Amino acid sequence: MSSENLPQSTEQQLRKPRVAVVFGGRSSEHGISVVTAGAVLNAIDRTKYDVLPIGITTDGRWALTADEPERMAITDRTMPDVAQLAESEEGGVVLSVDPGSREVVYSEPGSVPKALGEVDVVFPVLHGPYGEDGTLQGLLELSGVPYVGAGVLASAVGQDKEYMKRVFTSFGLPVGPYVVVRPREWDNDPQGARKRITDFAGEHGWPLFIKPARAGSSIGITKVDDVSGLDEAIEEARRHDPKFLVESLLRGREIECGVLEFEDGPRASVPAEIPPVTSHDFYDFEAKYIDAASGIVPAPLTAEETAEVQRLAVEAFEAASCEGLVRADFFLTEDGGFVINEINTLPGFTPISMYPRMWQESGVSYPQLVDRLIQAALDRPTGLR
Ligand SMILES: Nc1ncnc2c1ncn2[C@@H]1O[C@H](COP(=O)(O)OP(=O)(O)O)[C@@H](O)[C@H]1O
Ligand SMILES: [Mg+2]
């Protein structure tokens, strides 16, 4: 009996699950996403899975790229780019939005489209807008292909610092003081918005952090010491997002905790501490990715503090309806309590990034972590869950 005549489920059992690793993308975190995808491609167990690398260029073309992780590293402080890895300058990959087909098709202008076979699971290694924010997840929901990590809602919540805080608050998680300024308010009444911000500073004190609501990697964030720096900081935040947040400075230690979905539910890793940076004003883009990762794993906390932050991290995972993984970031304030700063549904994921390091220290190696995430995605039912 040829495999064509077998029921699909039997045929699927005869071949290895095929993982499409999707990376790059339109966000400012394109380069780091390529670096991470290189590490993920390296770590996927090829005896267990087949792999299809798909790079998204900075202008949004889904390109077929070679399975060559060694070309996906930082060289001379320069980030790799999908355009350099793409097998052609024009060809594009399309994942069918028909949930009855998991077929991936490659087409190039002037040529007959070529079927690349079925994909069983997508591993989106993408940070920021059009990758980590629910948009790609929506496409994958339409296509009916299971995927690693958070679904549409959790991804969108994790990308929007306003809604993230609203969700946390409604679930009883401790959140620091903040103000949100939406585009219409700023456009119609900037004076009123400025007054709201200075009143907030009057109550909570300077400095303030001005942040774009939907960015990442500290991009667009400014710490403002007094009112003279306010307008410039708002302008900078609004270059990245017309909606911005104002927060008071939280004094204390920065503590992070990883959550990973196992067969019996989400579990927290050992926490890590991000020491205050001296060469940078705060934990910004350079400090995160270019400098050697300086996080302390495990964080030097008491057993009670560790248990508390782990409990809060799992609660944050549940509050936002996360799936697969999340990194929850906290401040341990001077009064001894934890305040949640944010969650990242696709946290930094190179082998030296905090999330994999916390799991390494918790007994889950990088290849095991990659495998667990793929497995969690394959085990999950598609559709409403
Ligand atoms: N309210 C705050 N008080 C003190 N430090 C802050 C505050 N908000 C942000 N930071 C610092 O800025 C960094 C980036 O801010 P964060 O909200 O995590 O944005 P991103 O999504 O870009 O990572 C944090 O890791 C922390 O070091
Ligand atoms: Mg952060």
Task: Using the predicted structure, report yes or no on whether residue 321 has a pLDDT greater than 80.
Answer: yes
Contact in structure between 223 and 207 (CB atoms under 8 Å): yes
Rounded alpha-carbon distances, angstroms, from residue 280 to 49, 170, 223, 286: 42, 34, 12, 8
Ligand 1: residue whose CA is nearest its atom 22: 218
What is the C-alpha to C-alpha distance for residues 371 and 8, in angstroms, rounded to an integer? 24
Q: Is the CB of 250 under 6 A from ligand 1?
A: yes
pLDDT in the model for residue 132 = 92
For the entire predicted model, the pTM comes to: 0.92
Q: How many CA atoms lie within 13 A of 130 on its CB side?
A: 16
Give me the pLDDT at residue 2, please: 44
What would the pLDDT profile of 59-85 be if each residue is shown by its tens digit?
Answer: 999 999 989 999 999 888 889 999 999
**pLDDT tens digit string along 15-61?**
899 999 999 999 888 999 999 999 999 999 999 999 999 999 999 99
Place of tokens 């077998």: 6
Span from the CA of 215 to the centroid of ligand 2 (angstroms): 10
Tell the residue number behind the tokens 């770590």, with chain if given: 43
Tell me how far apart the alpha carbons of residues 255 and 261 are, in angstroms, rounded to a whole number.
Answer: 20
Average pLDDT score over residue span 356-368: 98
Query: pLDDT for 204-250, tens place per residue?
Result: 999 999 999 998 778 899 999 999 999 999 999 999 999 999 999 99
The span from the CA of 132 to the CA of 110, in Å, is 33
Ligand nearest to the CA of 128: 1
Q: What is the mean pLDDT of the chain?
A: 92
Q: Please write the tens of the pLDDT for every residue from 143-186.
A: 999 999 999 999 999 999 999 999 999 999 999 999 999 999 99
Give distance in angstroms: CA of 4 to centre of ligand 1.
54
CB distance 282 to ligand 1 below 6 Å: yes
Q: Is 217 in the pocket of ligand 1 (CB under 6 A)?
A: yes
Q: Which atom of ligand 1 is nearest to the CA of 250?
A: 3
Which amino acid is residue 28, in one-letter code? S
Under 8 Å between Cβ of 136 and 159: no
Confidence at 198, pLDDT banded by 50, 70, 90 = very high
The arithmetic mean of pLDDT across residues 370-384, rounded, is: 92
Per-residue confidence (pLDDT) for residue 29, from 0 to 100: 87
Q: Which of 28, 127, 175, 218 to mutate to test the pocket of ligand 1 (most atoms within 8 A of CB)?
A: 218
216 lines ligand 1 (CB under 6 A): yes
Q: Both tokens of residue 313?
A: 């991290």
210 CA → ligand 1 middle, Å: 10
CA of 163 to the centre of ligand 1 (A): 16
Residue 381 or 203, more confident = 203
pLDDT band at 12 (very low <50, low <70, confident <90, very high): low
CA of 271 to the centre of ligand 2 (A): 15
Q: Is 128 in the pocket of ligand 1 (CB under 6 A)?
A: no
For residue 145, report the distance from its CA to the centre of ligand 1, in Å: 34
Question: Whose C-alpha lies nearest to ligand 1, atom 21?
Answer: 216
Phi, psi dihedral angles at 351 (to 5 degrees): -60, -25
pLDDT at residue 8, as a whole number: 52
* pLDDT value for 10: 56
